[in-house]
Every structure is written in structure tokens, then in C-alpha cells.
Structure 1
Amino acid sequence: MRDCTKRFRPARTVMAALAAFAVMHGSVRGEPWAPAADHAAGAGHQLSLEQLGAQYPFQLKGVDASAGAYFDVRADEVVTQARLKLGYTYSPALISELSHINVLLNDVVAASLPVPRADAGKFQQRTIELPAHLVTESNRLRLQLIGHYTLECEDPLHSSLWANISNKSTLELAVERIVLPDDLSMLPLPFFDHRDQRRLELPFVFSGVDAATLEAAGTVASWFGALAGYRGASFPVRLDGGLPAKGNAVAFGLSPAKTPGPTLRIAPNPNDPYGKILYVQGRDGGELKRAARALSLGYDALVGPEAAITQLDELQPRKPYDAPNWLRTDRPVKFGELVSMRTLEAPGYRSETIRIPLRLPPDLFGWRAPPVPMDLRYRYSPQAGVVDSTLLFDVNEGFLRSFPLLSVAQLAERGWAEKSVFKELLPVRVPVEVPLERLMRRSELQYRFMYDYIKEGECRDVLIDNVRGRIDPESSIDLRGYPHFLPMPDLAAFSDSGFPFTRMADLSETGVVFQAKPAVQDIATYLTLMGRFGESTGHPATAVSVAFGKQGLEFADKDLVVISSGNQSWLAQFGEQVPAMLDGARKRFDTSDLQYRARDWMTPDPRDVERPVKSDLRYDSAGFNAIFAGFESPLRKGRSVVLISAGNAEAQRYAADALLGGEGYEQKIQGSLVVVHEKRISPLVAEYTYAVGSLGPLRRLEWTIAQYWPGVPPLRNAAVAAGALLAVALLLWLRKRLKGKRRTEGA
């Protein structure tokens, strides 16, 4: 899978270095130190260790233990001051004179913190000034414990040697902004910078909107969403053509007649000397869409302040499930395709967990299916003596299996005497099986090499950290053989992966329908959704279709996303098929037991979490909220509709924010009907009324029988299915024979 967030040119690094030189010599102006300010103010940033990837507090154990986090600096910024607000606790057993905690920046000791016994065992906070000249484009912040508990002989891994570093500790950076050149070769800079770990917020400016303009904007938003990845991306909208007071923006519009055709151009933001405007222009809607496609598919080849697109050949049609971010299902996928070689290394006794992210098509059918085969290959350093070392294999932080790391002596006992001395890491290959439900949609494989430490006796425990482990990049996972079939509607699949719309990575089978005059926030929700789709697939939405009003609902050959706020009368043709409707003060909701039993649980049988409609609630209220509702398209069987509706334009913001999620959201979008009010997500119904995908005849029959006879064992189901098919075949044969006999008698 392609990692869109890591693409940049060496020239950009040189450019950042030249800009830093300019700052040091006073030729570039900046803002004063204000670390808590927003990026738009150009003053500084504040990031916690948790935001930098530390999911849990750092646990430092042993005489010499360390852990750290990585942070980057945007290409249009230079750090002038840096400080770390550190929260930590340490063991009461540490000897103050011999122990301390080091703070290292890029492997240079920035500070050594004493560990006085009087403060041991208490949570403490310290502010450490970090040398700004040590901060580079990519940085590592590391915390190291040097610990001793006795003046005599000591166990280097004694349980009393510990320190705990809070992952709520914060890094504060004061920066000076840099004026970057107007050059398309820098794209996606400065509009998106992979070094910036915060959510991307990029305004989109329109001087007017029609279907073609919104299709072009959807292409660009999905491209930025793919680049932003886990960070998320939102796109505030302006329809008056006015540029933002600060920062960057993307502007869409028709260009003067003298313009040669589809055009991309970068120019300074007239309201902010540090901001840039990316203009996407064309003489008509078709040229505007062509410029957007050229930007999203060919930005690496662009150069200069302006590019007139003279040719863009028609794209080859996408195939279902070929999204770059999704795991392939037509062949085994090697781990080396998913992560870098460095990620697969595990050096030392206290090595970090090896993490391999997976993104599966959300409609792989795992009900009563065999587990996923995995060809696991790993290498490790065999230890001397008899030890109990282990390779732990977890999936999504849940234990699955362990593998022994045999020592030299244990290998010799098993007849490998000729290999009692190994000059290289010992290769091991084992087959592994993982239940498909443990890998649904978004997953992470986790491997941790746990090396045992042999105690040699008093005053003989000298720890030489010479062990190494590695997951071989030739290891693979094989998803072949699983059918694509998913009971619908499933808003969890929509929220997590954009399914079923992202089944085609370019959204060529997706139609987005607005009311006749969409509100600004309706368009912002659409762009946020396109960013989410791009994040899921890793591909821009180059073929999405947009329409307005009732005529847009006639997209019979497409799956539909309907975005509306305020008056809902134009959706009347959906009738009672819609599980909820917001029309000003009038509101209607289907409800079920799901509101009492909503769970974040993946099951191979979706019927386990089904909660059909129990009641129909209608009321009038001046309050406003937003809904996500899924149902089958009334135009064509098997096609899907997701309605994103709000009582007014302001409430539509709740829907966009819920799509991005984040801190403060306790519940997830799931089921077939969800109500959102501010940060409260309330699933109301989970009812499956249709399905997308297909099953083989026997599998389909078994699934159908299980709906009415759920207690039937799988083998008996198969037998019943086979018997039923034989019975049907016999009836067809008898019918054919009877017809033949009648023809003979008639003759």
C-alpha cells in the first residue's frame, strides 16, 4: 500500500535549510513565543506525547532504559524556542547519587533530571528548555532512565528500577514563519505538510457553485484527505470568493477567456504574506474538473508558479476493491509491501512492539468461514543456556499466540548441534491462522520479542544487550477465498471505510445529491466526506457525480449520498422508507433497543447486533440535530442511500464533526440510523433490509436457512443445503420430462 503522507522531494529539504539560514541572519520575520497559539497565528504549537504516538505512559525499567517519540517541523517554519513540560514519577528505591533521568533531543542530552529520595514515588512536573538549534526537520525526543538501587552487586533488570513518564507531557515549540516560493513543484506543500501531525484544516473558496465545480472540489478534497491520512481533514467553505485573513486556501473558479484552458496556479495570499492560494481554474466546468484531476494525479510532475494543462488522457476505469490503501484479496500480500524494513526491526531486550497496520475491504464475509492463513517468517538471536524467550503475537492489542525463541542449548537438544554457534539471526517460518473477525476493516498486527534474562548469580549479572529480532518482509497474509457480501445498511462500514461508495476507489458509482440551494455547511460536510473517502482508499475521487434537487435522486445506477439541511419536502419520494426525517420543527424517528445496547464489537454474524425497529416517534421541537440514515435505493435493488440530514445549516456541522470523530466522542456511528447532537452520537436502529455483494449458491442457501433456523450446526446446514439443491434439481428434471411426454402424446 502506498503511503501518501511520506512523499517529498530532496529539494524541499534544501529549501527548508536555506530558509532556516535566512531566519538566523534576520532576513525572515516571525512571530513572538506563544506556544499554545493556533498554527494560523504563526506563533507556535503544543503537542502532547500522546499526540506524538505514545498511546500509553512510558515505562522505563532497568539500569539503562529509554523510550521516545518523533516529531517533525513544517517546511514553512523554523523553531526558535522549544520546551518540554514533563510529568513523571520514579521508584523510591533509586539511589539519588547514582541515578537520573536524561532528556535527549536527537541523541544529544538536553537535560539530566535528579531523582532525590524525598520526591520519590510522587508525580512531579518539570519544564525543560530544549536547545532550539538541535531541532531539525525530523526529530526524536527520548527519555532515558539511568537507575541504580544498591552500591553492591545489582540485578540490571531488578523490579525496583523504574520510572514512569506521563504521555500527557507536552512539547511546546515557538516558530518563525518562512515565506515559501510560488512553485507548484513544492506540492502538496504548503497546503499539506506530512511533518504536521495535527488535523488538516484547509479553506475552500468558491465564487459560485454548480455540479462541475463541486465535483472538482470533491476530487481535490479527497486527494488532501488521502494525504492527511490518520490526521483527518476538514475544509471550511466560503461562497463569496473572499480569501481567508490568514493561512492557505484553495480557490475554484472559471478563468478569463484568454486563459489557455485548465490551469493550476500558486500565488501569495494578499491578506497574509506567509499564506498561499492554490487556484484551480478552467474556462468551463469540464476544464475545471480536468484541472482538479491533473492536480490530484500528477502533482509530482508539476513545476513553476503556473501550469496550463494541455493534455490529460482519459483514465483507465478502476476495478472494484482496487483501492491503494486496501489489502488485496486476489493474492497473498507481503509485510514488506505494507511497512518499511526499519519498522520490522526489534533491537535489544527492551525493543518496541513491531506494528503492521492493515485495512481490509469491509464486506469480506467471515460468517462460519475458515481463519485467515498467514505465512509468518521471523529471525532472532538465539541466546546461550536455557531461557524462556518468546515472540508474542497480538491483534489490535489482544493476545492471539506466542512462539518460543529457542536458545542455543535448546536447539542443540533438538538435534541442531551443528548450529550451536550462529553467526546470523536464526530464521524461523511458521503457519499462523487468524479469525477474520479479528481483522475486520481496520486492524493492526503487533509482534513483540520478549527475551528472558539469565541470572548468573551475585555480582555476575552483566547485561550485554546484543539480542536482535526481525519480522521478515517476506511474511504474508492471504485473504483469497472470502466472498464479498455484507448485510445492509451498515453505517459503521460507511463511517470507517466509506463503504459501499469506496468499493470503486474513484467513486465512479457514487452520486452526491444536494437540495436545490445547498447551504454553506452542506458543502463543507460534502468536502469532509470526500476527505474521509480519500483517507479510506488512498485515491482521489476523480469520478464522483454531483446533482441538485429531485432530479438528482434519479441516479438509478449509482449509490447515493444525500446531504440536506432545513426543508426536507423534496425527499418526499423516499416516503416511509427513510427511517428518520427532519423538516424544520417536525421530526420523525424510528427507534429500537440499540440505544440501550450499542457496542463497539465486531462479529462475523451481523445479525448478532441487529436491533429492528420497535417504535415510530414523531414530535415538534425548536431544537436541532443531525442524522445519518441508511436504506436501500428505491430506484434499483442492491443500491444504497445514505442520508446526512440536519434540522438547519448550523446542525449540519454536527454531522461533519462526527465523521472526523476524535476526543469527546464516546460512541461511534453504527447501525442503520444515528442521531448526532454536538458530540453526542446516539445509534437508534440497526436493521438489515438488503445486502450488497454475492455468495455462492450453497453458501447463500446456508445463510438463508440460518436466518430462520439459527441453531443448526454448520455441517448440517451444508447437508440441508445440498439436499435442497438436489430436490430442486429433481423437480426441474421431472418437470422437463413431463413436458416432453406431453409433446410426444400431442404428436
Structure 2
Amino acid sequence: DLRYRYPSATWLDRRASRLDISINNQYLRTLPLAGAAWWKALIGGQDGASSSQARAKVELPNYNLFGQNELIFDYNLILGTKKKCEGTLPENVHVAIDPDSAIDLTHAYHAQRMPSLATFANAGYPFTISPDLAETVVVVPASPDLGIVEAFLAMMGRFGDSTGAATTGVTVTQASDGDRLEGHDVLVIGIPRTAGATALFAGAPVRIENGRLRVVERNPIERVFGLISPYGASDVGETNAFLTTAERFDGFVSFRSPFDAARTVVAVMSTNTADLPELVQGLAEQRINAQVQGDLSVTNGEGMRSFAVGQTYWSGSLPVWMRIGWWFSERPLLMALSGLLIALLLAGPLYLLLVRQQRRRLGSEDAA
């Protein structure tokens, strides 16, 4: 719901002037600058400096909305009469987007398939659901060093930048027991050895084995469901080979909290805590940020390599029909087979009906 203001003057070419709107470098719409209402001229409203206000409804396409967005309003003011030595706009010309403009997201669905390190890297989800991080607990080692403290402050800065609010409601603790973490999303900052030794990692898709991080093997039931899952192609052996050959671990791990099924754990870990700040600050680079996906993302020297090795779950709520549509959208083969099955089910009765009508018609012609 946009309300915008622009000059109302005789020098402005109202037909040629316009307001162009774009979001994330994608053009949306052009709005006219129609000038002042006719009745203002009758009452003398055009004397001196004056402005006009207009209102418009602009739809923001959901496919182009991300965690960080840039909405651009580009005024193009054209002179109506270009006399000699008057080819530029007058001084002190002002345009504005009025503060009572609003972006309406009330009818949006609030749901996300988790874990999703991509949404964490982009917008700090799920921690930034509460702008001041009142529903977040940060777990750090008993004696955090400078690297951990710096990484913690850098992460809080990213969250604050995403929400526009200070992270004054966050809870920082050294304990990882269920009483403290139940009902909260959990952010772990530390080294793999200390983080993996707690009960918090009991349901994690990775574990500490011989001082190295390894992916937990799936049980037979999980393997069967993985065959029709969009994440079923994740090769646990390949992931373990990558983790084993790496001399160190720097990356992110996400999984469902063992203390609250509706909550998520994200662990920011590095074998050398001095590298933690660089790991967090790397999320500000567009190339690195785009590579952080799935539930396990590890540095590989050139950037990040991501995997999806754990079980997924829904955070939030969606209508049943939309969940079914989402489920099929990630399984194109099953969607094609379902479409073929529906076509057969519809074609069968229709074929029998047409055959029956043909027999009646042929029978009536024979009788005639």
C-alpha cells in the first residue's frame, strides 16, 4: 500500500514523469505522476512550492522475496518546458515515500521445511522469528575464548541486521540440559569435540568419532523412506569420506532439538576457535551465503560444500492441500505417475460412456 509524494509545479511534464519500482533488481511497475488535483488550482493551491500525493497498490512477487530485500523507488522527473539555459531541474526539489505506506504480509503462510541452513544463512531463521531473540538460547563452552566471543557478537550483529532490532532478549548459557533448552531454539558456538559430547547432539545427524565428525548411518526404515524423499540422494558414505579426509572441520550443522520437537538446533563449529569469526563473517559474502544449504555445510577451501543427511520436519503450519502440493512439487517422478494414474481413472469411465452411446446410436440406426 504505497503513498508517494512529488512536486506539483508548472515546470513538471506530468505525462513523461514517472516513478519506477523494483525489488532485488527486478522491475515491478511504473506509476504516473499525475500532478495536483484540479480543485487545488481553483482555490489557489498552486501558489509557491507545493506537492501532490498519490496512492497505489503494488504486488510484491513472493518468488522474488528473500531474507534480505531491497525495494527501490526511482523518480524520473522530466521538465515540461526546456527554455534556453533552463535544461536542469529547479533547486531544492523534493520527492518522498510517505511513512504511512505499508507492506502487508498478513495472508502469507508461515511454514518452513527444517532443518534449512539456507534460511539461517540468509535471514537467521528460525532465531529471528522473535526480533529480540527472546526464544533463543546460545550455548558456549565453560571458558569461551576470544574467537568464540567474537563469533557470538558477529552472529548477534547479523541477526540484528536481519530484524532491525537489538538482540537484547537472547539467553547465553554454558549448560545444555533439557530444562534450560526446552521451548527454545538453540545456537551452539564452539568446537566439535565439546559440542558433540552433550545430550543436545543425541538426535543430530552427525557424531564425534575418534576426534572427527562423522554422519550417523540411517536405519533400514529411514533408507526406505529416503528412496522417495527429495533428500534421499544424499550419500552418507560420500559425506563421511569428505569429513574423514579433511584435516579440520569448519562449518554448520542443523537438526531438530531433542528437548522440543518444534524447535531447531544450529551449531557453528570449528576445530580452531580462532577461525569461528571468519566463518560467521563469510555469510556476508553472496557467493559463500548461496552455498550454505541443507543440514550440514562444511568449508572446502574454495567456499562451502553442503549436504542433506538428516531427517526433515515442518516448522510452522500449512493447509493440508498446500502440504500435499509441496510434497509432490519436490517429487516430479511421483507427480508424473500420479497425473498418469488420474488420467487413466478419468479416461476409463469416459471411454465406457462413449462406447455405450455408440452402441445405442448404432442400435437405433439398425432399427430404422
Counterpart selection for 1:394 from 22, 42, 57: 22
**Structure showing the higher strand proportion among its residues:** 1
Structure 1 position 582, deviation (Å):
6.0
* 1:127-182 Cα deviation digits (max 9, x unpaired): xxxxxxxxxxxxxxxxxxxxxxxxxxxxxxxxxxxxxxxxxxxxxxxxxxxxxxxx
Match of 2:197, SS state, is: helix
- Alignment-derived partner of residue 444 in structure 1: 70
- Alignment-derived partner of residue 539 in structure 1: 166
* 1:633-690 Cα deviation digits (max 9, x unpaired): 233322111122222334434434335x359957553332211357733333497711
Structure 1 position 693, deviation (Å):
1.2
Superposed CA RMSD in Å reads 4.2
| 1:379–1:472 contact (8 Å) kept in structure 2 | no
- Alignment-derived partner of residue 478 in structure 1: 104
CA distance 1:375–1:531, change in 2 (3 Å): closer
| 1:511–1:547 contact (8 Å) kept in structure 2 | no
CA distance 1:655–1:552, change in 2 (3 Å): farther
| 2:200–2:257 contact (8 Å) kept in structure 1 | no
Matched, 1:379 2:10: no
Q: State the identity %.
A: 25
Aligned pair count reads 314
Counterpart selection for 2:181 from 534, 542, 555: 555
Match of 1:494, SS state, is: helix
Q: How far, CA to CA, are the matches of 1:698 and 1:666 in structure 2?
A: 32
- Which amino acid counterpart does residue 212 of structure 2 have in structure 1? R
- Alignment-derived partner of residue 692 in structure 1: 315
Counterpart selection for 1:613 from 228, 234, 243: 234
Match of 1:567, SS state, is: helix
Structure 1 position 440, deviation (Å):
3.0
CA distance 1:679–1:656, change in 2 (3 Å): farther
Counterpart selection for 1:633 from 257, 266, 276: 257
Higher relative contact order (CA 8 A, sep 6+): 2
Q: Which runs of 5+ in 2 are unaligned?
A: 217-229, 343-368
| 1:485–1:694 contact (8 Å) kept in structure 2 | yes
Match of 2:155, SS state, is: helix
Q: Which runs of 5+ in 1 are unaligned?
A: 1-373, 591-608, 717-747
TM-score, L = length of structure 1 = 0.36
Counterpart selection for 1:565 from 170, 191, 198: 191
| 2:13–2:77 contact (8 Å) kept in structure 1 | no
Q: How far, CA to CA, are the matches of 2:326 and 2:289 in structure 1?
A: 33
Q: How far, CA to CA, are the matches of 2:144 and 2:88 in structure 1?
A: 67
Match of 1:530, SS state, is: helix
CA distance 1:384–1:544, change in 2 (3 Å): closer
- Alignment-derived partner of residue 304 in structure 2: 681
- Alignment-derived partner of residue 588 in structure 1: 214
- Which amino acid counterpart does residue 437 of structure 1 have in structure 2? Y
Match of 1:623, SS state, is: coil
Q: How far, CA to CA, are the matches of 2:121 and 2:109 in structure 1?
A: 22
| 2:116–2:295 contact (8 Å) kept in structure 1 | yes
| 2:255–2:310 contact (8 Å) kept in structure 1 | no
Match of 2:59, SS state, is: strand
Structure 1 position 416, deviation (Å):
10
- Which amino acid counterpart does residue 173 of structure 2 have in structure 1? V
Q: How far, CA to CA, are the matches of 1:494 and 1:642 in structure 2?
A: 8
Q: Which moved more, 1:463-472 or 1:475-484?
A: 463-472
- Alignment-derived partner of residue 502 in structure 1: 128
Q: How far, CA to CA, are the matches of 2:126 and 2:13 in structure 1?
A: 56
Matched, 1:431 2:53: no
User: Equivalent residues in 2 for 1:36-435 (5 A)?
Assistant: 374-381=1-8, 383=11, 387-406=15-34, 422-423=46-47, 424-435=50-61
- Which amino acid counterpart does residue 624 of structure 1 have in structure 2? R
Structure 1 position 519, deviation (Å):
5.0
**Structure showing the higher helix proportion among its residues:** 2
Structure 1 position 545, deviation (Å):
4.4
* 1:70-124 Cα deviation digits (max 9, x unpaired): xxxxxxxxxxxxxxxxxxxxxxxxxxxxxxxxxxxxxxxxxxxxxxxxxxxxxxx
Q: How far, CA to CA, are the matches of 2:262 and 2:247 in structure 1?
A: 35
CA distance 1:610–1:405, change in 2 (3 Å): farther
- Which amino acid counterpart does residue 438 of structure 1 have in structure 2? N
| 2:254–2:266 contact (8 Å) kept in structure 1 | yes
- Which amino acid counterpart does residue 399 of structure 1 have in structure 2? Y
- Which amino acid counterpart does residue 567 of structure 1 have in structure 2? R
| 1:628–1:674 contact (8 Å) kept in structure 2 | yes
CA distance 1:491–1:421, change in 2 (3 Å): same
